[in-house]
Structure 1
Amino acid sequence: MSIQIFILSKLMEDNNYPYKLKKQLSEPIPLDQLGGLTESKLYYHFDSLAKQGLIETVKIIKEEHRPDKQVFAITEKGREELPKKIYKLFENAKAISDMVVGLESIKYVDRERVVEILEKKIKNIKAHWEQISHLEKQIQIDEEHKKFAEFVSGYVSTRTEHTIYWLEELIKRIKQGDI
């Protein structure tokens, strides 16, 4: 989904073609390589978006001794669907790293709604942590497994605190307009 959001967001700015977008993704930081985005995956998502009626071919550039370049534009339906896809990305994200493309495209959605989604995530994480904490107190752990249980508990506790901290930081920065 994030690749499709990236494509639609770029087409909101200007008409474009797949190879040019891939090149933009790789400079100056090779985000395409970091994300495992190949040209074939990018073309697949362009094709998928076209089949959904979210983008359309507006021009074909013919060059001698080179394949034709299809230039795409976002459709009205694509403009309507982009915010829905961005909200869904935030709702489904398991970590902030899953939200990067949505954060990059935040100008196309209501920031307050994004904040509400993130606040709900924090609330759910805290509720889940509370539930787990109560279980930990009820379980009897024998000496053989005590050190392992302490390790796992420490890891989960630290990771949960870390996640909450960074979600709260993200919310703060969105509210301040820094993101």
Structure 2
Amino acid sequence: MIRIYILGMLAQTVNYPYMIRKRLLEVQPYTSLSEGKFYYDFESLRKKQYIETVETIQEEKRPDKTMYTITNLGRDYLEEELYKCFKKNSELEDLYIAINFLDYIDTKKAGLIFEDTIQKEKKRWKKFEEKKKILLSGEKSSNTTQFITDHAFNKAYFNIEWMEKLLAFIKKY
């Protein structure tokens, strides 16, 4: 997701790594993001020619500031990766970054992809629902099993509800 964020930010405007990392930590403050990992991902995008240097700004008594922009190849990659996010992620938290960059994809296409993801998630939990009945009907079913199972299902249904809200948001976007 770090790479998607970097590309999305550079699709918006020319920028430099330090500022992009700072903004990422503001948007997702709970992210544990080491400087090393961030700069590794940044350099990887540069080597793949998804981003390129625009200029290096030199200021007195300050380190050089290298400004970057996204390339056409990077824009194509960003779009592809955003669609993948809506296809493979069923936890809303995993989509936070992708939601920020809806301007760079066809939201109708993203909506169709995400609708399919929601349906798969609903089917998956329906299968669990059948197993739940069997599990809880046994004599050895305990209060703790019931408690844990209830929590898991409530969390899943809450997540699906929010996925549907996100789908509506995408469709209106």
Pair 1:112-2:108 in alignment: yes
Pair 1:22-2:21 in alignment: yes
Describe how 1:81-120 pairs up with structure 2 within 5 A: 81-120=77-116
> CA separation in 2, counterparts of 1:110 and 1:133?
35
Which shows bigger deviation, 67-76 or 130-139? 130-139
Question: Structure 1, unaligned stretches of length 5 or more?
Answer: none
> CA separation in 2, counterparts of 1:92 and 1:149?
29
The alpha-carbon deviation at position 86 of structure 1 amounts to: 0.8
Pair 1:141-2:138 in alignment: yes
The alpha-carbon deviation at position 125 of structure 1 amounts to: 1.8
Paired residue type of 1:53: Q
The alpha-carbon deviation at position 117 of structure 1 amounts to: 2.3
**SS state at 1:136 partner:** helix
**SS state at 1:59 partner:** strand
The alpha-carbon deviation at position 122 of structure 1 amounts to: 1.8
Compared CA separation, residues 174 and 39, structure 1 to 2 (3 A): same
Paired residue type of 1:147: N
| TM-score, length-scaled by structure 1 | 0.85
The alpha-carbon deviation at position 11 of structure 1 amounts to: 1.2
* Paired-residue identity, %: 32
The alpha-carbon deviation at position 44 of structure 1 amounts to: 1.8
CA RMSD of aligned residues (A): 2.0
The alpha-carbon deviation at position 31 of structure 1 amounts to: 3.4
Other-structure match for 1:172: 168
- 1:121-141 residue CA offsets vs partner (Å, 9 max, x unmatched): 221122112212222334452
> CA separation in 2, counterparts of 1:128 and 1:25?
32
Other-structure match for 1:10: 9
- 1:74-114 residue CA offsets vs partner (Å, 9 max, x unmatched): 11111111101111222232411110111000110111222
Other-structure match for 2:76: 80
Pair 1:54-2:50 in alignment: yes
**SS state at 1:60 partner:** strand
The alpha-carbon deviation at position 32 of structure 1 amounts to: 5.6
> CA separation in 2, counterparts of 1:124 and 1:72?
39
Compared CA separation, residues 97 and 32, structure 1 to 2 (3 A): closer
Question: Structure 2, unaligned stretches of length 5 or more?
Answer: none
The alpha-carbon deviation at position 59 of structure 1 amounts to: 1.1
2:27 to 26, 31, 40: 31
| TM-score, length-scaled by structure 2 | 0.87
Other-structure match for 2:158: 162
1:86–1:109: 8 Å Cα contact kept in structure 2? Answer: yes
1:32–1:38: 8 Å Cα contact kept in structure 2? Answer: no
> CA separation in 2, counterparts of 1:120 and 1:64?
54
